[in-house]
Amino acid sequence: MKVKLKNVFVIYFLVSVIGLMYALLQLGQPCDCSQHLRSASDLMHGKDKKISQLLSEVKRLQARGKDSELEGQALPVIYAITPTYARLVQKAELVRISQTFLHVKNFHWIVVEDSPVKTQLVSELLAQSGLRFTHLHTETPKEHKLKESDPNWLKPRGVEQRNLALQWLRENRELSEEGVVYFADDDNTYSLRLFDEIRSTKRVSVWPVGLVGGLRFERPLVEKGRVVGFYTAWKPNRPFPMDMAGFAIALQLLLANREAQFDMLAERGYLESSLLQSLVSIEELEPRADNCTKVLVWHTRSEKPKMKQEELLQKQGLGSDPSIEV
């Protein structure tokens, strides 16, 4: 049969219309889109889950943030015991160490004046320092006191004062309170990292001290995490040949050993040993500062300022105004 072009067009047209009608009828019919929906739904669920995961993460971190604040309160307190005495550079020394201490969390400064009374200078300085403090005083008995002309090593210094601070701690702190005691003389220099090392003390911790004993540094010798000896040139046979600035003692150890204190009559250089030997053995010492390889504290000393002109003026009755505190 001959296929007429006219017929081809007619068939084409009919097929198209039928197709279009079918499509139009399909519109509005409920279709089975479940598969598509399911994947979209999965996607949504996935995102919801992620959101709730993130939310709980945030909550957890917030809680941890609060905990570390609380932890901040539960951080062992560092008690720094500083004996001090009146001399020209006293205020300067106390000002600059207080500026270091102000950076240290949970810090309690125990300042003990070698004085029959609390002086105004120290009282005001402590009040303005912004630090938590205890202000004590006790006068070194005359026979143990250094004279102006004595070399500074002739008699031990700060003994009565440190012992008074230990007594205060024993009378005012409980065994349950976590703390670490450090003897911080007012002319040394302390890095901030030192206090992290102090804080982790369990019994007695030790570290190097710079510029002491005639050396660039003294330090405990450490093998396999234990102290096995001391790198010290001066009187190395002492039970604990260390400087006052080179160790810290757990508060609980001091509270549990109420008789342990510094011996006023100790031979030169034996002051530290006189306290430590009743508290700990060398094997028990905890090495800090990267196994005692870092210097985090320096035994600096300040020069006595020259007062030649002041003395001349004072002889003429023209000395500087004493009401201006220096």
Partner 1 sequence: TLCNPHLWQQASGVSPKVIQNYVYSRPPPWSDTLPTIFVITPTYTRPVQKAELTRLANTFLHVQNLHWVVVEDSPRRTNLVSNLLEKAGLIFTHLNVESPQSLKMNGSRIPSHKPRGTLQRNLGLHWLRDSFNNTQPPEGVVYFADDDNTYSLELFEEMRYTRRVSVWPVAFAGGLRYESPIVSPAGKVVGWKVVFDPNRPFAIDMAGFAVSIRLILERPQATFKLEGIKGGYQESSLLKDLVTMDGLEPKAANCTKVLVWHTRTERPMLGNEGKHGFSDLRMEV
Q: Give the residue numbers of the binding site for UDP-alpha-D-glucuronate.
A: 83-85, 114, 157, 162, 185-187, 299-301
Q: Is 272 designated active site?
A: yes
CA distance 195 to 102: 12
Nearer to partner 1, 164 or 212 (CB): 212
Binding residues for Mn(2+): 187
Q: Tell the smallest beta-carbon distance from residue 295 to partner 1 (Å).
A: 5
Report in angstroms how near the CB of residue 194 gets to partner 1 at its nearest: 10
Q: Among 93, 197, 272, 286, which one carries the catalytic annotation?
A: 272
> Coil, helix or strand for 252?
helix
CB neighbours of residue 52 within 10 Å: 10
Task: Name which of 21 and 95 has its Cβ closer to partner 1.
Answer: 95
Q: Which element (helix H / strand E) includes 24?
A: helix 5-26
CB of 198: closest distance to partner 1 in angstroms? 14
Q: What is the DSSP letter of 236?
A: T
3-state secondary structure of 208: coil
Beta carbons within 10 angstroms of residue 134's beta carbon: 16
Residues of this chain that interact with partner 1 (CB under 8 A) are: 88-89, 91-93, 95-96, 99-100, 102-103, 105, 128-130, 189-192, 208, 210-217, 219, 231, 233-234, 293-295, 298-303, 305-310, 312-313, 319-320, 324-326
Q: Smallest gap, in angstroms, from Cβ of residue 142 to partner 1?
A: 27
DSSP 180-197: EEEE--TTSEE-HHHHHH
Q: Residue 234: count other Cβ atoms within 10 Å of its Cβ.
A: 14
Q: Of 221 and 264, which has the nearer Cβ to partner 1?
A: 221
Residues 148 and 304: their CA atoms lie apart, in Å, by 12
User: Mind telling me the catalytic residues?
Assistant: 272
